[in-house]
Amino acid sequence: MQTGRGRERMSGLSVEQQEEFSLAMKYTNSIEIALPRERVAQLLADPVHLPMWLRGVVLHEPVKGMHGQLGTTSRVVMQSGKREMELLETITRRDPVDLHGIPRDVVVHFDRETVGPGMWSDVRDQLTEATPETTLWKSDSEYRFSGLLMRLMGRVMPGAFHKQSQQHMEDFKAFAEHGKDVRDG
């Protein structure tokens, strides 16, 4: 399991590529979901559900490994308006591996590193049991940017990234608790 932060975690990039990226932001989001932690973990880990709560996802397909498993790299295509962006996402931590029969005192971890044009991110999700029927989802995000346009965007609009992350969490909550699909408008 990798435990470092920042440049030492940029495992998908060469040393030269890592040096191009500058730290733009770190932030934390959290939300409480009215479902048991084990169910929340299973829903988050199931790729079938991604389009139902992850706005803009066009494609999420493994190119190496099995979806959601440690070390798996997936091609992710996202769309926002008319703009489409292709990213590579690598699962850097999934703990526990088996999402059935999780002991009450165990924190569930889903960590991933994402690389795209002018952007690198490290997201660390933690699911803790608030009550037997309620889950606290905490997400720590770090973004680094390269290239003038992406660096400028990261400095001028840092709140947009934080807000989008929170929206994804709220969309997941609505899907998990009520079956609401973001594609239904």
Taking the C-alpha atoms of residue 120 and residue 131, their distance in angstroms, rounded to an integer, is 35
Between residues 13 and 3, the one the model is more confident about: 13
pLDDT, mean of residues 158-167: 88
- Percent of the chain at pLDDT > 70 equals 84
For 5-34, what is the mean pLDDT?
A: 70
Angstrom distance (rounded) from CA 31 to CA 51: 20
Please give the Cα distance from 112 to 121 (Å, whole number).
Answer: 8
pTM (predicted TM-score): 0.85
Q: What is the mean pLDDT of residues 95-118?
A: 94
Confidence of residue 77 (pLDDT cuts 50, 70, 90): very high
Distance CA 156, CA 153 (A): 5
pLDDT score recorded for residue 21: 58
| Region 119-140 average pLDDT | 96
- Residue of 138, 185, 128, 146 lying closest to 166 (CA atoms): 138
Instruction: Please give the distance of CA 73 from its chain centroid, rounded to a whole number.
Output: 13
Residue 128 and residue 107 in contact, taking contact as beta carbons nearer than 8 Å:
yes
Spell out the alpha helix ranges (H) of the chain: 15-20, 37-45, 50-53, 148-156, 158-178
Confidence of residue 10 (pLDDT cuts 50, 70, 90): low
Q: What is the mean pLDDT of residues 81-93?
A: 94
- Here the tokens at position 161 are 């990234």
Q: For residue 121, is pLDDT > 60?
A: yes
Inform me whether the pLDDT recorded for 6 exceeds 50: no
For residue 145, name the pLDDT band (cuts at 50, 70, 90).
confident
Range 90-108 average pLDDT: 95
Percent of the chain with pLDDT over 90: 69
Give me the pLDDT at residue 22, please: 62
